[in-house]
Structure 1
Amino acid sequence: MCAGEWARYHLLVRLLLLSDIHANLAALEAVLGDAERQVYDRVVCLGDVLGYGPQPREVLARLRDLNARCILGNHDLWALQLARGANRQAQDNVVMQVLHWQLQRLSSADLNGLAAWPEVHDEELGGFTVRFRHGSPLSLLAYVSSLARAREAFAAWEGQVCFVGHTHLPGVYATVDAPPGEWVKHQSLSAGGRFLWAPRARLILNPGSVGQPRDGNPQASYGLFDIEQHTFEVFRVPYDVGFTQAALRSAGLPASLGARLAVGE
């Protein structure tokens, strides 16, 4: 979707949020099948489409079919750096080993599309500005993984709503007005569930990981954001983990990548 097309869709109110797919096609297809019953207006992917998994080209093609708006993740960035001859770390590093393998399976068109993804996107929706970024409101690489880090992010960023990924942990950090000033609370959505937000609250929302959950739940995770109803909902979806594990073995990729999928780590 080009910038003009993105702007023309600003009145639509239900966003399907995907993040950290990590080249896991079986998980992505399970999520998309489940999301069909939810009804949504468009798809936003918050980065890390590449890395760890055995189907990089297939996942990229599926996102193109969906006309998804994609934000650059750290694994996506590292893949681009490797393709340009930079950041060539030792291949005994599992992260880089997988990215080297994936690059051999991507076309120049795949890489050109990847290079067009922005690191951050801001958009006016429902009367306020929404930010989409992989790591935190202010950084592609930073993790919003604790109340302390959320407080730091809110203190340095003046926006109202930001969608992030990166931690692979679904949940919400929200500000609350109190007599001493703004304080921050956290609601985990690892089991799925809905968060109803007050219009004045500021939010950092994470839909969790489609392709490599890390919260002890191996089920794929995705989010739905309803601007009109002021809700953010996370759904957990079982998928054929064995299929992805077999594809990893066939590719000769490290066995640890398949083992962690079965336990959600």
Structure 2
Amino acid sequence: MRLLLLSDIHANQAALEAVLHDAAARRYDRIVHLGDAVGYGPHPAEVLRTLRDLNVVGVTGNHDAMLLDYADGRRTARESVVSIALRWQLERLSSDDLALVRGWPDGVDDPEVGARYRHGSPASRDEYIDSVTAAREAFAGWEGRLAFVGHTHIPGVYATLNAPVGEWIKFQGFPEGGSYLVPPGARVILNPGSVGQPRDGNPRASYGVFDTGRGAFEVFRVAYDVERTQEAALEAGLPQVLAARLAIGK
């Protein structure tokens, strides 16, 4: 089985379209969305409609959860860029859109693949695995072998390797894309990066493909029409920083 792995689209329809076009030639059997379909960007309804049409396996991200908090009156409005974008998006989403987001669980254990799908870490939607130290803590609190996460907006792999001193944690990043074969006996946390708002200095959209038969993880970087998203964000009156950062991958 081949999994198409998407994460952190953040209401960027131009990036999502470019990724889906690129992925069509690579063959996949199932699409897994690792959270944060909404937040930041100007196309929340379009992105959710696309994900609904694709019948993705989805989990909630922290921005998805915050959107529902605003919808249900559990969160107080703030003047942060996160709050401004989410409240603007909420006004443009239908009941069907919100129902889709409500239907995504906090995490999914996939027995067919033998993997856990979660936004932040195998143990938490909100934790960041952005260092070897954070990865070591995540491995200590989770007994599985294979996990797919997002949240950092940076594609990479954290892997455990046996060493004379005990379990050793290693990181491999994919700023320009690349591939990784899961070593026999290793435990791994795989991150396909962000479709809609990369943060590793490369503005190209990032996504992953995992071949369960070969244990092969591939990350691809795809150019998309950044200006289209920037113009839509500015026309919507969203904070300028949300448009500007797309061009530099930060």
TM-score, normalisation: structure 1: 0.93
Q: Within the alignment, does 1:54 sit opposite 2:79 as a pair?
A: no
Q: 1:104 aligns with which of 88, 91, 94?
A: 91
Q: Distance in 1 between matches of 2:181 and 2:99?
A: 39
Partner of 1:82: 70
Q: Distance in 1 between matches of 2:231 and 2:46?
A: 16
Do 1:168 and 1:214's aligned partners in 2 also have CA atoms closer than 8 Å?
yes
Q: Distance in 2 between matches of 1:103 and 1:214?
A: 25
Q: What are the superposed Cα offsets for residues 108-164 of structure 1, whole Å, 9 maximum, x if unpaired?
A: 1111111110001001235xx200000001000000000000001111111000100
Unmatched segments (≥5 aa) in structure 2? none
Q: 1:93 aligns with which of 59, 80, 84?
A: 80
Q: 1:200 aligns with which of 185, 195, 200?
A: 185
Q: Distance in 2 between matches of 1:196 and 1:229?
A: 8
Once the 2 structures are TM-superposed, how far is the Cα of residue 250 of structure 1 from its aligned partner? 1.0
Unmatched segments (≥5 aa) in structure 1? 1-12
| Regions of 4+ moved over 2 Å | none
Q: Distance in 1 between matches of 2:184 and 2:106?
A: 27
- Pairwise mapping of residues 147-186 of structure 1 onto structure 2 (< 5 A)? 147-186=132-171
Q: Distance in 2 between matches of 1:122 and 1:108?
A: 28
Q: Within the alignment, does 1:26 sit opposite 2:45 as a pair?
A: no
Q: Within the alignment, does 1:64 sit opposite 2:52 as a pair?
A: yes
Q: Distance in 2 between matches of 1:65 and 1:113?
A: 11
Q: What are the superposed Cα offsets for residues 149-201 of structure 1, whole Å, 9 maximum, x if unpaired?
A: 00011111110001000000000000001122211100001210000111211
Q: Distance in 1 between matches of 2:218 and 2:194?
A: 14
**CA RMSD, Structure 1 to Structure 2 (Å):** 0.8
Q: What are the superposed Cα offsets for residues 226-253 of structure 1, whole Å, 9 maximum, x if unpaired?
A: 0001100000000000000010011011
Q: Within the alignment, does 1:244 sit opposite 2:229 as a pair?
A: yes
> Percent of aligned positions with the same letter in both sequences?
59
- Pairwise mapping of residues 207-222 of structure 1 onto structure 2 (< 5 A)? 207-222=192-207
- State the one-letter code of the partner of 1:212: Q
Do 2:209 and 2:217's aligned partners in 1 also have CA atoms closer than 8 Å?
yes
Q: Within the alignment, does 1:142 sit opposite 2:130 as a pair?
A: no
Count of residue pairs brought into register by the alignment: 250
Q: 2:29 aligns with which of 38, 41, 63?
A: 41
Q: Distance in 2 between matches of 1:51 and 1:124?
A: 30
